[in-house]
Structure 1
Amino acid sequence: MPRRPLIVAVLLGALTLTGCTSTPAAAPSPTPTTAPTVAHSGDGTMVIGTLFPMTGDNAGSGAAQVAGTELAVRDILAEQAIPTQPVQLIHRNSAGDLATAYADLVARGVDLVLWDATTVLPADAEGFVGSAAVVALGDFANGGSPLAADEAFTARLKTADPGLASTDGGAEAYDGVMTAALAAVITGDDGGASLEAGWPQVISGRAVCASWGECVFALSEKQIVDYQGITGARS
């Protein structure tokens, strides 16, 4: 059964932050991050739809990925200085009626769709999600296989869902949400086109950061970030 949407606040416009106490993990980059210019289409709420397996043989992974996304949002909320930008998570079943799931996400105005880390993104997916950006979480996986979560991250996932039987995909889902939120900060917009344009900029720089706080601080210092989260380096 679909879970109720989780709504929290995430910071946009973080480049004007003051009073942040986190520190970046690398030396400053020479120029500020600049994303390709696209027309802003966001409405002030970044709506992330997920398509994870909620039934069938991979349902355990689906639960882990739901937990990973919700943990990421919770971490963003815990570290931010000025909560101004709502984020909504809407979870749907990739192992069920996909046509219905796509239609429901479009009807709810999602800006981004995160696809299951354990299966290949359908070739026609982008044609069914309107103006939303689509990200295959398998792109975060090392060699195509979800990361084996260590004991510490497993414990953190279980704070979001104590009944987890698997952690497959949890790390990829966590990093997917973090990358999307940072893309929104870089572009100053939560629309699908802006998220797609900002996504590569999250991993394009020399200022390595491993958490929301570190990355936002680096951006506020006009550094070009390279987010290396739970799944490690991607650039």
Structure 2
Amino acid sequence: MRCTADVRRSHPHRAARLALPAALAAAALVLTGCTTDEPMPVPTEPAPSPTPFREVAPSGDGRLVIGTLLPTDGDTAGLAAAQIAAVEVAVRELNDNGGVLDEPVTVFHRNSGGEPGDQLEAAFADLVERGVDVVIGPFGDALVEQALPLAAEAGVALISTGATGELAGADEGFFARVVATDYLQGLTIGQAVVADGASSIAVIASDDAYGEAIADGVADAAAASDAASSTVVTVTASDTSAASTVADADAVIVATSVALADVTAGMLADLLDAGLSPASLWLASAAAADYSGSLDAGALEGARGALLGADADDEFVERLRFADPFLGGFRWAPEAYDAVLLAALAATVIGDDGGASIIAGLPQVAREGAPCTSYGECLQFLIDEPDAGLNYEGLSGPLGMRVDGDLDEAAFGLAVYTDENRPVRDGNLLTN
């Protein structure tokens, strides 16, 4: 029999881990043009087994509604535009594949403002009034911390693309992020330094949460190696003199926050003057800036740094430009796209679109299981291998999602400094 069909999935079922929900159990295809005389096989449900995942009560209404809460004006408006376009691309992909839980997905975009305040609170309230289940954003740590209690009260999930710090209230079961924490960045850099053969590692850290988190990650990487040790030197905006005292270490990692940007160049010059080879120098993301106008030519040539935010490949850029032809850049777009697909897959495997269910479902679709890279492919795996689990491999890199909503593996851009003291992306830096 030759047929043209749009076969939807329908079977009401909820379970803790990858038991097939309504969107998957009655049929195996959403397609146009098929030739078959055989009935479509109905996938069997996996036998229940104990899991370490969080279990929550269903709270959704069966229709996934997504919001974005990003700064659409001010200095970071360009970053918001790329993420909003990515969310639109992702939602279109969801709906082209039958939606989520047999229903089309809708999306609303709101302006968070650049700083915590009334703008964010009003925008969040408007999204809640429109019935959102999950919000992509806010972007920075301070904005997320303002939104967290609002999200917990409303039962709305937050998935941030840019909040990297330790956050008060992030453990309430309504928060996750698709960007590595500062600690994980430190761990990943530390692993790379140890792999290079360094036995003595010095971390020049700003006297703040960022510097402390990077230093803690490096220390854990060194301790795990049994072959390296780390020392931390703390600097402030008014006193960077201690930095030059560690120039004889096998590797020096500069972990100064943006607050010390004005003094970091001078500190680097002192380090190099004290005899540190650029090949032994690493710069964490906040310090991995362009120093072409502040250091002598060639001073940093060969130094390495970590970059946040994945590159958008040509195919994805084309999709983004279709959504917004006026985009001036694409940074953080892969992360926003991944956030939407993760939320949709989590709602699918749990069988519920409630905010708590989405966060609880994330480790079930981005950790261990069958690797998949698109919504349609992941859905097909749930049909073909219902007991194998899912491991969504995102555009932004590996997404080892923990129960607490943080990643335990990630990909950073690996920057190598040119003779012009500019960081140029040269591959990726992966957590081991």
TM-score normalised over the length of structure 1: 0.82
Unmatched tracts of structure 1, length 5 or more: 1-9, 23-29
Deviations 1:192-220 (A, max 9, x none): 11111111111122211001111111112
> Which residue does 1:41 correspond to in 2?
59
Post-superposition offset of 1:186: 0.5
* Pairwise CA RMSD: 2.7
Change (3 A) 1:21 1:111: closer
Q: Tell me how far apart the structure 2 counterparts of residues 215 and 74 of structure 1 sit (CA, whole Å).
A: 16
> Which residue does 1:109 correspond to in 2?
131
Q: Tell me how far apart the structure 2 counterparts of residues 72 and 17 of structure 1 sit (CA, whole Å).
A: 25
- Is 1:32–1:224's contact at 8 Å kept on the other side of the alignment? no
Equivalent of residue 313 in structure 2, options 150, 170, 177: 150
Unmatched tracts of structure 2, length 5 or more: 1-7, 10-20, 32-45, 163-176, 186-306, 401-432
Q: Which amino acid is the alignment partner of residue 210 of structure 1? A: T
Kindly, what percent of the aligned residue pairs are identical?
Answer: 43
Change (3 A) 1:82 1:190: closer
Residue correspondences, number = 218
Name the SS of the counterpart of 1:92 in structure 2: strand
Q: Does 1:199 align with 2:362?
A: yes
- Is 2:100–2:344's contact at 8 Å kept on the other side of the alignment? no
Q: Does 1:134 align with 2:158?
A: yes
- Is 1:146–1:172's contact at 8 Å kept on the other side of the alignment? yes
Deviations 1:175-202 (A, max 9, x none): 1110000001001011111111111111
Q: Does 1:85 align with 2:103?
A: yes
Greater relative CO, 1 or 2 (CA 8 Å, sep 6+): 1
Q: Tell me how far apart the structure 1 counterparts of residues 308 and 47 of structure 2 sit (CA, whole Å).
A: 35
Equivalent of residue 232 in structure 1, options 382, 397, 400: 397
Q: Which amino acid is the alignment partner of residue 336 of structure 2? A: A
Q: Tell me how far apart the structure 2 counterparts of residues 73 and 63 of structure 1 sit (CA, whole Å).
A: 15
Q: Does 1:219 align with 2:382?
A: yes
Q: Tell me how far apart the structure 2 counterparts of residues 89 and 81 of structure 1 sit (CA, whole Å).
A: 12
Equivalent of residue 24 in structure 2, options 15, 23, 30: 15
Change (3 A) 1:145 1:73: same
> Which residue does 1:26 correspond to in 2?
none
Q: Tell me how far apart the structure 1 counterparts of residues 100 and 137 of structure 2 sit (CA, whole Å).
A: 30
Structure-to-structure mapping, 1:164-179, within 5 angstroms: 164-179=327-342
Kindly name which structure, 1 or 2, has the bigger radius of gyration based on alpha carbons. 2
Deviates more, 1:145-154 or 1:201-210: 145-154
Q: Tell me how far apart the structure 2 counterparts of residues 45 and 131 of structure 1 sit (CA, whole Å).
A: 15
